[in-house]
Amino acid sequence: MKPVWLLAALVAVAQAQPVPDTLAQRALACTGCHGRQGRAAPDGYYPRLAGKPAGYLYSQLLNFRDGRRDYGLMSELIAPLSDAYLQELAGHFAALDLPYPPPQAATLPAPELARAEALVRHGDDTRRLPACTACHGERLTGTQPGVPGLLGLSRDYLNGQLGAWRSGQRRAQEPDCMARIARTLTDAEINALTQFLASRAMPADSHPAPALAAPAPLRCGGLWP
C-alpha cells in the first residue's frame, strides 16, 4: 500500500497538469468504443470513423440523437449536444487520414463471390436494385459529401447494418433508399455481398470520391432532393 505522502504527491502532479480543452481531447469519448483515433474497434461491432465523409458522419450523429437509429449508449452520449457541435465532431474525424486494417478472407466459393461483385458493380435492373458503386463510388470508398465507403469494414458490421435496415432498427430520413435495398436483397445475397466487400483490399487512394459520377439512381432522404 502506498504511503499517504506519495498519494498526495501523485494527486498534486495530476492537478498540475490540466487536461487540454481541445476537440481531439473531447473526441476521446468516441474512441473508447470506436478504437484509437476512430480506426474501428477490433471486435468488428463499432465501425471506423476516421476518414469517412463529414456529411455522412454528421447525418448519422443526428440519426442517433433524433431516434432514427437505435443504440442507447450513442443516443444518451450525444443527446445534449447541439447541431453545431456534432458537425464539428464529424469534421474532426473526417479529417483523419489513417491506414486501414487488412481485409478479411472470404470463405464462399468463387462463383458466389462473382455474383456478389456483379451486384456491386452492375446491380439488378429487374428488381430495381442499383449498383453499389452508383452511390458509394467506383472504388467503393464513399462519395462526398455524405455517402460512406463500403471497404475497410468487417463482415460482422456490414451484416449488422443491412439487418438493421431490414428490421427497421436503422432508419434514415425518408425516402429511405437503403432500407428498400436491404429488404430486396435475399439472405444469400447479403451473405455473399458482405463477404465480397470485407475481403477487398483498400485501393491506393482510399479517400471518398469528390462527387457522384452520375445522378443518383434513387432518391435518398437527407442526401438528395
Percent of the chain at pLDDT > 70 equals 90
Among 99, 125, 147, which residue terminates a domain? 99
Angle of CA points 120, 126, 131, to nearest 5° = 20
220 is in an annotated binding site: no
Q: Does the annotation flag 177 for ligand binding?
A: no
28 plus 115 within the same structural domain: no
Domain boundary among 53, 72, 99: 99
Q: What is the band of 8 on the pLDDT scale with cuts at 50, 70, 90? A: low
Determine contact, residues 184/118, Cβ cutoff 8 Å.
no
In this prediction, residue 44 carries a pLDDT of 79
Report yes or no on 15 lying in a domain.
Answer: no
1 is in an annotated binding site: no
This prediction has a pTM of 0.86
Q: 89: domain range?
A: 23-99
Q: Are 95 and 180 contained in the same domain? A: no
| Residue 224 pLDDT > 80 | no
**Cα–Cα dist 162/183, whole Å:** 9
Is the residue at 7 inside a domain? no
Confidence at 38, pLDDT banded by 50, 70, 90: very high
The conformation of residue 147, written as its DSSP 8-state character, comes to: B
The yes-or-no verdict on residue 161 having pLDDT over 80 is yes
Q: Is the pLDDT assigned to residue 6 strictly greater than 60?
A: no
| % of the chain at pLDDT higher than 90 | 74
Statement: residue 10 has pLDDT above 70: no
- Residue 1 clears pLDDT 90, i.e. is over it: no
Residues 46 and 78 in one domain: yes
The last residue of a domain, from among 99, 120, 151: 99
Question: Within a domain: residue 56?
Answer: yes
Euclidean distance between CA atoms 165 and 122, whole angstroms: 22
Residue 166 resides in a domain: yes
Q: What is the pLDDT of residues 108-148, one digit of tens each?
A: 999 999 999 999 999 999 999 999 999 999 999 999 999 99
The pLDDT of residue 177 is 94
Q: Does the annotation place 202 within a ligand binding site?
A: no
Looking at residue 174, which CATH number applies to its domain?
A: 1.10.760.10
Residue 16 lies in a domain: no
Q: Are residues 86 and 146 in the same domain?
A: no
Query: Are both 223 and 149 inside the same structural domain?
Result: yes
159 and 85 inside one domain: no
Same-domain status, 90 and 119: no
- Same domain, yes or no: 64 and 151: no
Residue 97 has pLDDT above 50, yes or no: yes
Does pLDDT of 9 surpass 70? Answer: no
Q: Which residue has the higher pLDDT, 219 or 189?
A: 189
Clarify whether residues 148 and 93 are in a common domain. Answer: no
**Assigned domain for 10 exists:** no
Number of domains in the chain: 2
Is the pLDDT at 13 greater than 90? The verdict is: no
Is residue 48 within 8 Å of residue 153, measured between CB atoms? Answer: yes
Same domain for 70 and 50: yes
Asked if residue 72 and residue 53 are part of one domain, the reply reads yes
Quick one: average pLDDT of 173-200? 96
Q: Would you say 207 is a known binding-site residue? A: no
- Region 166-195: mean pLDDT is 95
Residues 37-58 have a mean pLDDT of 91
The pLDDT assigned to 131 comes to 98
Judged against a pLDDT cut of 80, whether residue 158 lies above it is answered with yes
Determine, yes or no, domain membership for 2. no
The reply to whether 137 falls in a domain is yes
Distance CA 168, CA 30 (A): 25
Do residues 155 and 200 both lie within one domain?
yes
* For range 8-37, the mean pLDDT: 76
Q: Which three cell numbers stand for residue 88?
A: 464539428
